[in-house]
Amino acid sequence: MALPTHVPYLIIGAGIHGLSTAYHLALALKRSGRGSGEDILVVDKTSIAAGASGIACGVVRNNYFQPAMRELMAHSVAIWESDSEAYAYHPVGYMQISPECMHADVATIAQQQKDIGYESVFIEGEKDCASYMKSIFDDWQAQGITSVLHEKRGGYANNTKSLYGLADKAEAEGVRIMTGLKVVGFERNGVGVSAVKTERGDIKCDYIVAAVGPWAKTVWDMLELPQSISIKGKDGTLHEDIPMWVYWSLQEGTLGVDPDMQKTNAGEFPPVVHVDSDAPLYSDEDGSLITDKMWGIYYKPDFNFGGIQGGAAPFKVTTKPDDVAVDPYGPDSPEFIVGPDFAHMWCSALAHCQKRFEKKMDKYKNEPSGGIGAFTPDSFPVFDVFYDNVYLIADSNHGYKMIGVGALVAEEICGGKSSLLQPFRFSRYAQGKLHPVSHSPFPWS
C-alpha cells in the first residue's frame, strides 16, 4: 500500500483500542453521513496484535472498587457479548475470592454491580464461601476466605483471534490498515497537529488517535507534554513533581497441563478465578515460607495458551528505564521477564487454592505473556484530547478487556460527549477528582 499524503483520520496502533476505534468510527461516520471507513487509516510499527494486546491474558471482568471503572467495564462486556464468535470470547464468568480485610470493599462492588444491573452472586462468611467453592471445585482448599463475588458475566477472550476479528470488521467498513510503519514524530500547526511523521514520510491528517498501550510515554514525549505533574489529593493537599508515567512488569505464566484439568465438578469450563489472600503462602516444593504478606493470583484454563494461564501482582520496573521508556517491547527490554520467584510463588499459590495443582511446578512454561505496562500516576486510564485534534487513549494497563472504549471515543470524535469517559480526563489530577483506592494488592483493582 502506497503511503497516502493525507487522511482525515489517522489511528496509531493496531491493538485492541486502535482497531476498536477504527471499526466504531467507521460505523459512526457512516451513520452520521460525515464520511466512511475509507477516511480512516490505522498504522502500526510492526503488525496487528504485535504488542501488549497480542500477549494479554485476555481476562474480561467487572471487578472494580471504582464506580467509574465498573460502569465503563459493563459497557465493554456488552460489546464482547455482541459478537462472541468474531471476538473469540468465552463468557464463563469471573470470581473474586477474598479475605476479611477486603470484605467491605468487595461488598461495595457487589452492591454497585447490583445497582447497575450487572448479574453477580455474593457469598459471605468463611464457612459459606468454602461450601460454595467446593460446590464448583471439590478439591478447593484455600483458607481464610470470607467473601466470594461470582460475576456471571465476563470471562476471557483469545487475544490474537479477537484482534484479527476486529481488523476484519474494520476493513469490511473500508478502513485501511498499514503495518510495518513506525511513527517518529508530529508536525505542529498552531494549536493542533497537522501531520504525523513516519519513517517513510509525513502523512497530513485532520484528526489523530494515539492508542499505543505501553508506548504511551513515547507519544507523550513526541507531543512535548509534561514529564511530571501536580496532583491535588482528596484532602486538598497539592502533591507536586509526580512522574506522569511509571512502568510495571506484569507477572504472568502458563502451567503446561491439559486445560481440561481445571473443569468443574459438573465437567464444565469454570469462571476465571482470582484469589487475594492474607494467609501465609508456603512453598509447594519444600514447605518454606514464601510470604506472610498480602498476595494475589488469577488463573483460567486456556487452549490458546496451552494450559492453565494466569498471573500475580506486578512489580515496578527499575532496570533499564530508558530502554523501557523508548520501546517496552524492543530487543533490549525485559518485556517477557517475570520476577525470578514468580513461577515458584504462582505454582505454590495454585496448590494453596486447589489440591489438583500440588507438585505441578515442573509443568510451568516460561513463555510470552503479560509484558510491560505503562501506568499513570493513579494507575487508571487517561482518555482525553490534546492540542485540539489528538485523542490519547492511555489505558494504564486496563486495556485489552476494555474493547468498548473505541466505541465511546468514536462517539466523542463525532461530536458527542461520553459520560463513561468523563471521569478519566487528564484534568482530574489538578482538580483532585481521583478514583478511590481499594485494599487489593493489584494496582488496577
Provide the pLDDT for residue 56: 79
Q: What is the pLDDT of residue 324?
A: 42
Q: What is the pLDDT of residues 157-215, one digit of tens each?
A: 998 999 999 999 999 999 999 999 999 999 998 889 999 999 999 999 999 999 999 89
Q: Quick one: cell of 42?
A: 490505522
Cα 436 to Cα 445: distance, rounded to the nearest angstrom: 10
Residue 235's pLDDT is: 84
Do 59 and 95 form a contact (C-beta atoms < 8 A)? no
Burial 198-208 (b: 16+ CB within 10 A, else e): beeebbbbebb
Query: Do the Cβ atoms of 250 and 314 come closer than 8 Å?
Result: yes
pLDDT given at position 407? 98
Beta bridge partners of 183: 198
CB burial readout 324-347, b (16+ within 10 A) else e: bbebbbeeebbbbbbeeebbbbbb
Q: Which amino acid is at 120?
A: S
User: Is the Cβ–Cβ distance between 227 and 243 less than 8 Å?
Assistant: yes
Please check whether residue 231 is in contact with residue 433, taking contact to mean a CB–CB distance below 8 angstroms.
no
**pLDDT for the residue 131:** 98
Pairwise CA distance, residues 371 & 328, whole Å: 8
- How far is the C-alpha of 13 from the C-alpha of 248, rounded, in Å? 20
C-alpha dihedral, 76 to 78 to 122 to 128, nearest 10°:
-100
Q: What is the pLDDT of residues 26-48, one digit of tens each?
A: 999 999 999 999 999 999 999 99
Averaged pLDDT score across all residues of the chain? 90
Residue 444 gets which letter from DSSP? T
- The domains of the chain, with CATH numbers, are 1-90+154-242+378-445 (3.50.50.60)
Q: How far apart are CA 249 and CA 373, in angstroms?
A: 6
Residue 330 has what pLDDT? Answer: 45
Candidates 404, 349, 381; CA nearest to 143 is 349
Distant-in-sequence contacts of 338-341, Cβ < 8 A, 24+ apart: 338/249, 338/251, 338/252, 338/253, 338/366, 338/370, 339/249, 339/251, 339/315, 341/290
pLDDT of res. 278:
95
Asked whether the predicted pLDDT for residue 95 surpasses 90, the reply is yes
**Whether residue 273 has pLDDT greater than 80:** yes
| pTM for this prediction | 0.91
Residue 64: the pLDDT is 82
Neighbouring-strand partners of residue 9: 40, 207
User: Among residues of the chain, what percentage have pLDDT more than 70?
Assistant: 92
> Strand, coil or helix: what is 107?
helix
